[in-house]
Copies of this chain bind each other. A is one copy, B any other.
Amino acid sequence: MNLKELSQHLGLSQTTVSRALNGYPEVSEKTREKVLKTAQAMNYSPNARAQGLATGRAKAIGHVLPVSDQHEMVNPIFGDFIAGAGVTYAKHGYEVVISLVEDSKEEAAYQSIKARGNVDGIIVHGPRMADRRIELLHNLKLPFVVHGRASEVNTPYSYLDTNNSRAFQRATDFLLDLGHRKIGLINGLEFMDFAHRRRMGYEQALNNRGIAIDPGLMRSAEMTEIFGYTATSDMLASDTPPTAFIAASMITAIGVRRAIHERGLEMGRDVSVITHDDDLSYLKNGHDVPIFTATRSSVRTAGARLAEMLLQLIDEPGQGPLTELMEAELIIGSSTAPAPT
Contacts and interface: CB of A to CB of B under 8 A. Distances in A.
A287 B229 contact: yes
Contact of A49 (B1, B49, B77, B87): B49
Nearest to A44: B115
Interface of A: 1, 43-50, 52-53, 58, 60, 65, 67, 72-80, 82-83, 86-87, 89-90, 95-100, 111-112, 115-118, 224-226, 229, 250-251, 254, 257-258, 261-262, 277-279, 281-282, 287-288, 296
B45 A65 contact: no
Contacts of A89: 100
Given A43-B111, A79-B79, A87-B67, A95 B118 contact: yes
Given A74-B79, A100-B83, A279 B225 contact: yes
Nearest to A82: B98
Given A87-B100, A96-B97, A261 B258 contact: no
Contacts of A75: 79
A257 B251 CA distance: 14
A73 B295 CA distance: 12
13 contacts: A44-B115, A46-B115, A49-B53, A65-B82, A65-B83, A74-B80, A79-B79, A83-B100, A90-B99, A95-B118, A97-B97, A229-B282, A258-B288
